[in-house]
Structure 1
Amino acid sequence: MIDFGIDKLAIIGAVALIVIGPEKLPRVARTIGVLVGKAQRYVSQVQTEVNRSMELDELKKMKQGIEEAAHNINTEVSAGLQEATRDLYTEDSEMAHRYGSFGDADTPYYGNATPVRKNWRLKRGATPLWYKQKSGVRRHAQSGAARVARFRPQPPHSTRN
């Protein structure tokens, strides 16, 4: 790049003053400043665009690497699952041959355990009474008339002296 020192700038300024004249020099200096500013903005935009494209290429490469790693992990996991399933079925078929058949040979045998049935009445009964009162859970069936009577405003008590 061209190196401008103070002495060179002073010589350029003196020549410009003589050639252009003192009347037109401020206007020419402003025009030159505007043009230099536009050139600097253009150069910075080009640099920014180049940096963005480089970052985009790096991100694409990183994305491709991550996708490849995820695909490899997926294939390894699925192969492991298939192997474990195959081992499980072979053990079940060996047990069926050894101890007699207990159902379909293609499906694994897990015993005759019945699923646990959750009794919702017991579950509701386990809720503490104070929580039911606080959350407004009705504990007893109540007729409409009883409900109206419960929420009817009480008349003021008269005090006799």
Structure 2
Amino acid sequence: MIDLGVSKIALIGAVALIVIGPEKLPRVARTVGTLLGKAQRYVADVKQEVNRSMELDELKKMKDTVEGAARDVESSIQTSASDFEKSWSEATGSDASTATDELPGMVVFPEYKHPKKNWRLKTGATPQWYKARSGVRTKAQSGAARVARFRPQSGRSSSF
């Protein structure tokens, strides 16, 4: 890189002042500054892109190693499960399909059946007399209407 000291920068400034002139020098200095700023931003963007690509490569390698480990674990679980089924069938004296279908002491539940349309409305509806008795609101009322309903009337005289 070019070694620029204070004396060299002062020499360059003096030459620029003589060559360009004092009227145009500030405008040229601003233009050079903006161009240098753009160049620095471009270099920084390129560095970030290179870093991202390197991190992406590292993540891909890590993903491959994790997937390989997961495959190894899956295969070991499958082999141990098949060994367990073989030993279970040998111990019980029956084949594995009948042993898993009906185990002693296990309750078999019926298969799920989707309820008919409006099932919740028919069976889950609470009767109106129960709602009125327990104080459940059945009609929605706005806040302003509720205030107006319970506001004392000016025509009535209240005696305490």
- Give the TM-score category using the shorter length: 0.5 to 0.7
- 1:36–1:111: structure 2 CA closer, same or farther, 3 Å change rule? closer
Matches within 5 A, 1:1-12: 1-12=1-12
Q: CA deviation at 1:8?
A: 0.7
Q: Distance in 2 between matches of 1:14 and 1:65?
A: 62
Change (3 A) 1:17 1:116: closer
Q: Which amino acid aligns with 2:99?
A: P
- Counterparts of 1:119-130 in structure 2, within 5 Å, are none
Alignment-mate amino acid for residue 108 of structure 1 = A
Which residue identity lines up with residue 64 of structure 1 in the other structure? Answer: D
Runs of 4+ in structure 1 deviating by more than 6 angstroms, as ranges, are none
Return the offset for 1:111. Answer: 6.6
Task: Find the counterpart in structure 2 of residue 115 from structure 1.
Answer: 107
Partner amino acid for 2:67?
E
Structure 2 residue runs of 5 or longer lacking an equivalent are 110-125, 134-160
Matched residue SS, 2:50: helix
Greater relative contact order (Cα < 8 A, sep 6+): 1
Identity %: 50
- The residue type paired with residue 28 of structure 2 is V
Question: What is the aligned-residue RMSD (CA, Å)?
Answer: 2.8
**Equivalent AA in structure 1 for residue 39 of structure 2:** A
Give runs of aligned pairs for residues 22-33 of structure 1, distance below 5 A: 22-33=22-33
Structure 1's unaligned 5+ residue stretches are 94-104, 118-137, 152-161
What does the per-residue CA deviation read over 1:119-161, in whole Å, with 9 as the maximum and x for residues that have no partner?
A: xxxxxxxxxxxxxxxxxxx9xxx9x9xx58x84xxxxxxxxxx
Cross-structure match for 2:116: none
Larger C-alpha radius of gyration, 1 or 2?
1
TM-score, L = length of structure 2: 0.62
